Amino acid sequence: MSNPLKALSNEQQNYWVDRISSCAIGESECKAETGATVEEIKDFMLDNEHELCPACCWYMPSDTFLNEDSEPEKTCDECRE
C-alpha cells in the first residue's frame, strides 16, 4: 500500500511536516485526516529530514541529532542540554 502522505501536494506535505513537528496532537490529526499509519508518518517525516526523539517524543530536524563534532547522537540537542 502506498503512503497517502507522499501523494499530497508539496504545500500539504509542508503543512503536515510543520504540524507534526510543532504540535502535540499533530500526529493524531494527521492520522485522522489522511488515514496514514504511525509507520507511514515516521517514514514521511524521515523523508522530510525529521526524526522522532526517543527522549522527548517530538519530531525534530535530523541535524539536531548531531553533536558539535557532527557525530550522530541518540537524542535531539534539546534533550542533551
Q: What is the pLDDT along the chain (81 residues), one digit of tens a residue?
A: 699 999 999 999 999 999 999 999 999 999 999 999 999 999 999 999 999 999 999 999 999 999 999 999 999 999 998
Which pTM was predicted? Answer: 0.91
Q: Are 28 and 40 in contact (CB under 8 A)?
A: no
In the three-class reduction of DSSP (H, G, I as helix; E, B as strand; rest coil), residue 66 is classed as strand
Compute how many other C-beta atoms are within 10 angstroms of the C-beta atom of residue 81: 5
Residue 67 phi/psi, 5° resolution? -85, -175
H-type alpha helices, 1-81: 10-22, 26-34, 38-47, 77-80
